[in-house]
Structure 1
Amino acid sequence: MSRGLAAMRDRNFRWFFLARAITMITGSMSSIALAFAVLEIDNDARSLSFVLTAFTVSNIVFLLFGGVVADRLPRALIIQTCYVIDILTIGAMAALLFTDSATVMLLVVLSVANGASTAFVLPAMQGIIPQLTTPENLQQANAMLSFVRSAVTIGGPIIAGILVATAGPAWAMVVQAAGWLIAIPVLALVKLPPPAHAGGTTMFHDLRVGWQEFWSRSWLWTIVLAFMVMNAIHVGAWGVVGPYIAKNDDRLGIAGWGWVLSAEGAGVLVMTLILMWFPLKRPLRYGMLGMAAFAIPVTMLGVHPAVVLLAMAAFIAGAGAEVFSTGWNLAMMENVPGEKLSRVSSYDMLGSFVAMPIGTLVFGWLVTQADAATVLIASGIVYACVALVTLLVPSVWRMGRPDGALTRRS
């Protein structure tokens, strides 16, 4: 089997890959569906920011607990359980929209439940991948998952834009819930040994051990601190202001916004193909350079939100983001002990996500108080500077890969 598909040799990875692909395919329309479901109820960027903030705050509150649980219990079982909760919350949103009973407050409540569920899924997902394949195939495994994610991101937003504009956002949520329902039995086919950490200690002891592992690595907490700022800008500028401009500026429009998000996915797709075959020797150096490229579409969204130019900028940003995504996953999986990986990942996610509620609320307020172009241009400048300053940290700039991870296999 070629190097790019080498991870498919492993049976557990094949079943996990299938389950993950199903959920990524069916869930690729969810962000657009939720955004325009809220704006359909109340055409106010602040209402959208409230719903996104509810999800993020709930996610943050439960993340550390989710990391401890994912190091103690079978990670596939945790993911399955959370998918059941997601089916119930997403299905409830769809039912409310179908019956014209949805309110912003009800969507906020359901987003809280969905955010709590995701807080358990994310550390489990991060921790399970090294269990599914061999160290030399980790880059290919991560790239293959990113390939599916980016492929469906290309088509998902376009279909979602059309579906939301014609039939309404509820149908996209029905599709997502169906995908989660199919993925649950597929995940049951993943057979892994019991967790190395089987308990016997308190949750607070486990959290303290996870913190010690996190804080002992300067590259880890430096980049997490940077993403505290970068994610706040991303979720505010791209997640709140972007849909608001799309709905209210004819140069972009809802369908045009779908094309822009699809172009971002296309950039990710192209880069995943490259990374499936070519080893990433400096994962954090190239990753942070790639992340800095996101400043381009953010700035252009404010300067001139025309579909074609914005889509081109989003393509570049998507390619850069994938370099970071693969590089970061490799850095975590190759440098953090597997039995502590979910806990360390939960600290990573907590730090990266903690300012996102502030970002959604602040940008939701800013766009009603100030000129959107000025806000977005300033955001792009700050974003690029924060991303690039991390390269001054020696452990970020110099980090390489274990020798065995770069071994070519045919």
Structure 2
Amino acid sequence: MTDTAGVTPTPVKHLLRGRFGWFFAGRTVDLAGSSMTTVALALAVLQASGRVADLGVVLAANMIPTLVLLLVGGAVADRVRRRTVLIVTNLSTAVVMAVMAVVLITDRYDLVVIACLALVSGAVSAFSQPALRGIVPELVERHDLQRANALLAGSQNTVRILGPMMASVLVATVGGGWALAADAASYLLAAAAFTRIPGASRPPSAGRPLWRDLVEGWSVFRSMRWVVVMTISFAIVNAFNVGPWNVLGPQVVSGNDGAVGWGTVQTVRAVGLLLMSVAAVRIVLRRPLRDGRIWGTLAGLPLLAIGMSGDAWVVAAAAFFGGLGFTVAAITWESTLQAAVQEESLSRVASYDDLLSYLAIPLSQLAVGPLAASYGANEVSIACGVAVIVVSLLPLLSREVRNLRT
């Protein structure tokens, strides 16, 4: 890590004023709402139905439209003001959460109704994500992108710790319906904060059909070889990392140390994520992709710890360092993409990046169980940990990735 010579980043207190400050506030409240929703919705459905199968239907209904509509969301975010997209999506999500809350509070739970509302919520998310990734370069100077993304990562990691805890307390004390009502209120507050962001002008579409924007976005995406290389790398890393961590981690650690042990691992990992987010506010990397890939290898350590030991304290220590590496990799990638891609194409490129990176996750989660049954959970975890380390370094074979500077 090295400070970039010749560039004086904007002080944090100044960065958090004005347009980026309002976005930071809205994004933090938005993240708090979404982190609460994940837990509150799951607990509320289980509380109301008592059936795990219902929860699976609701979660699938929420995820599928996000993947299906993500590219359309990217095209829309590049076509209209991203500020407008964020206001509309937060208001829409607030309405969905409010209706869910009313259904549950009035004891009128119905799987079809809740699944349809989750479907709408997932569709809305497909439009908000590309807008969130594309708007930051409109709000800060180029040399402040890493600092801005580090601040956003810090708030994200903080609410990841506090949000689920708050949701659990609300569900336990006043019920799942009221927890979702609190979520609805948070989305309204986020929308109010986003209204204070000045709207950047967008180039006129001149009646151009949406499909042409999608094709143009794909052309921009594939024309940047280093972006394609990094996206493929992320997809493979997700395939080897997400399923084993979410499935084998709880199985092995809980088997050794109980549910508290796995909860401790997740908490320690979150601390690592948060600490590195804070550190990244003060430090700038000269070659962000190269350094991000090197730090990203640490994400393989928790899987190695699960396979070689499985004891909660060993896995927690590895997860702490894995959290450090994951944070650096995420911040450097986001900042580099925002600096290198033209603003009028950024949301579309980001949506292709998201879609291709996420597609491997469901396959990973489905495959890891049968693989562990055939070859052993410890063996699969070790193999996946090694694969994460190797695949994280593979993009360094590209000269563009190695040498690209901020």
User: TM class, shorter-chain normalised?
Assistant: 0.7 to 0.9
**CA RMSD of the aligned region, Å?**
3.3
Q: Which residue of 2 aligns with 1:269?
A: 274
* Cα distance between partner residues in 2 of 1:111 and 1:214: 30
1:59 to 56, 66, 78: 66
Distance 1:169 1:383, change over 3 A: farther
Deviates more, 1:384-393 or 1:218-227: 384-393
Q: Which residue of 2 aligns with 1:408?
A: none
* Cα distance between partner residues in 2 of 1:31 and 1:304: 30
Q: Which residue of 1 aligns with 2:342?
A: 337
Deviates more, 1:73-82 or 1:259-268: 259-268
How far 1:132 moved relative to its partner? 0.9
How far 1:34 moved relative to its partner? 4.8
1:147 aligns with 2:154: yes
Q: Which residue of 1 aligns with 2:5?
A: none
Distance 1:380 1:111, change over 3 A: farther
Q: Deviations over 1:160-184 (max 9, x none)?
A: 5666677766555443322112111
Distance 1:292 1:275, change over 3 A: same
1:362 aligns with 2:367: yes
Q: Which residue of 2 aligns with 1:283?
A: 288
With the length of structure 2 as denominator, give the TM-score of the two structures: 0.84
1:397 aligns with 2:402: yes
* Cα distance between partner residues in 2 of 1:39 and 1:290: 39
Report how many residues are paired.
397
How far 1:365 moved relative to its partner? 5.7
Q: Which residue of 2 aligns with 1:232?
A: 239
Q: Which residue of 1 aligns with 2:80?
A: 73
How far 1:217 moved relative to its partner? 1.3
Distance 1:112 1:185, change over 3 A: same
Q: Which residue of 2 aligns with 1:251?
A: 257
The AA in structure 2 aligned to 1:392 is: L
Quote the sequence identity (%). Answer: 32
Distance 1:6 1:266, change over 3 A: same
1:202-217 pair list within 5 angstroms = 202-217=209-224
Query: Does the CA-based 8 Å contact 2:273-2:323 persist in structure 1?
Result: yes
Q: Deviations over 1:65-109 (max 9, x none)?
A: 111110111111111222233234444555566638365x76654
* Cα distance between partner residues in 1 of 2:295 and 2:178: 35
* Cα distance between partner residues in 1 of 2:383 and 2:54: 23
Q: Which residue of 2 aligns with 1:25?
A: 32
List runs of 5+ in structure 1 lacking aligned partners.
Answer: 402-410
Query: Does the CA-based 8 Å contact 1:295-1:381 persist in structure 2?
Result: yes
1:376 to 345, 366, 381: 381
How far 1:283 moved relative to its partner? 1.0
How far 1:296 moved relative to its partner? 1.7
Q: Which residue of 1 aligns with 2:89?
A: 82
Q: Which residue of 1 aligns with 2:193?
A: 186
Deviates more, 1:73-82 or 1:33-42: 33-42
How far 1:144 moved relative to its partner? 1.1
Q: Deviations over 1:256-286 (max 9, x none)?
A: 5444333222212221222211111111112
1:200 to 200, 207, 210: 207
Distance 1:374 1:317, change over 3 A: same
SS of residue in 1 equivalent to 2:405: coil
1:112 aligns with 2:119: yes
How far 1:124 moved relative to its partner? 0.6
Distance 1:174 1:382, change over 3 A: farther
The AA in structure 2 aligned to 1:17 is: F
The AA in structure 2 aligned to 1:13 is: F
Q: Which residue of 1 aligns with 2:355?
A: 350
Distance 1:64 1:26, change over 3 A: closer
The AA in structure 2 aligned to 1:311 is: A
List runs of 5+ in structure 2 lacking aligned partners.
Answer: 1-7
The AA in structure 2 aligned to 1:63 is: L
SS of residue in 1 equivalent to 2:321: helix
The AA in structure 1 aligned to 2:257 is: R
Q: Which residue of 2 aligns with 1:101?
A: 109
1:13 aligns with 2:20: yes
* Cα distance between partner residues in 1 of 2:213 and 2:147: 31
Distance 1:356 1:79, change over 3 A: same
How far 1:39 moved relative to its partner? 6.9
* Cα distance between partner residues in 2 of 1:47 and 1:233: 28
Deviates more, 1:228-237 or 1:160-169: 160-169
2:322 to 317, 323, 331: 317
Distance 1:242 1:211, change over 3 A: same
Query: Does the CA-based 8 Å contact 1:143-1:275 persist in structure 2?
Result: yes
How far 1:157 moved relative to its partner? 4.3
How far 1:239 moved relative to its partner? 3.8
The AA in structure 1 aligned to 2:342 is: P
SS of residue in 2 equivalent to 1:400: coil
Q: Which residue of 1 aligns with 2:305?
A: 300
* Cα distance between partner residues in 2 of 1:36 and 1:286: 40
1:222 aligns with 2:229: yes
Query: Does the CA-based 8 Å contact 1:56-1:115 persist in structure 2?
Result: yes
Deviates more, 1:328-337 or 1:311-320: 311-320
Query: Does the CA-based 8 Å contact 2:256-2:310 persist in structure 1?
Result: no
Distance 1:116 1:314, change over 3 A: same
The AA in structure 2 aligned to 1:274 is: A
